[in-house]
Each structure stands twice: as structure tokens, then as C-alpha cells.
Amino acid sequence: MEITRFQKLIRDTYIHHDSRRGLDNTVEWFLSEVYEFIKALNGEGDIEEEAADVAAWLVSIMNLLNIDLDNAVRKRYGEGCPKCISIPCRCDYRETPDKKVRIEIRNQ
């Protein structure tokens, strides 16, 4: 499913709940689904299902902000890597992000 179609589907399905909940609580839901996704990577849950939930909650946040995610993705990654503007990326390999977030994935 294309991003635009997915975003419209989530808007049509949940915008009444998302609007009532507001941005802060919707972001909190998004983070809880990221946590569920990480648990699924560790063998506690369905990875595909949790990935779909993370995508849906991200799109809900974009709906509340009236941001077209398809357009944002195209602007950011349409030419490949946004830093070196290449496909594949030619940037130096980096093992970890600059901002530290410690996550352990047991099932690799």
C-alpha cells in the first residue's frame, strides 16, 4: 500500500479518536508501540503486526500535524541518502547513532 493511501486510510479510520486524544497522547501511543515492536524483535510478539502499528501511529501523528508523510519521505529520501545524495549511500559507515539510545535485540 502506498504511503498516501495508507495515511488516508488511517485518517478516515482514526482521526476522530486522534483529534480527541491530541498530539501529546498520540505521541505517547506511538512510543508505546515502538516498545511493543522492540519486544517483538525479542520474540515477544508478531514483528509484522507491531511494525504496522508503529507505521499507523506515526501516520496518526502526521495527520494531527497535517503533514503529508509521502511528500516528506520523497523530499527527504527521494534522491537517496539525504547527506551524500547518493544511491547507495557513500557516507562513512557508523555503527551507532550520535544520540545514544541503548536497545538490546536478543534475536538476531
Q: Which is nearer to Zn ion, 83 or 106 (CB)?
A: 83
Using CB under 5 A as the binding rule, whether residue 94 contacts Zn ion is answered as no
Helices marked H in 1-108: 3-21, 23-41, 47-64, 69-77
Q: Considering CB under 5 A, how many residues would be counted as binding Zn ion?
A: 5
HSE-up of residue 107 (Cα within 13 Å, Cβ side): 10
Identified binder of Zn ion from the candidate list 31, 67, 72, 89, rule CB under 5 A: 89
Q: Which is nearer to Zn ion, 20 or 83 (CB)?
A: 83
Using CB under 5 A as the binding rule, whether residue 52 contacts Zn ion is answered as no
Task: Return the CA Rg of the chain.
Answer: 16
CA pair distance 4, 8, nearest whole angstrom: 6
Residue located via cell numbers 549511500: 89
Extract the C-alpha cell encoding 40.
Answer: 517483538
Using CB under 5 A as the binding rule, whether residue 91 contacts Zn ion is answered as yes
Least gap, CB of 79 to Zn ion (angstroms): 10
Using CB under 5 A as the binding rule, whether residue 83 contacts Zn ion is answered as yes
Which residues bind to Zn ion, rule: CB under 5 A?
81, 83-84, 89, 91
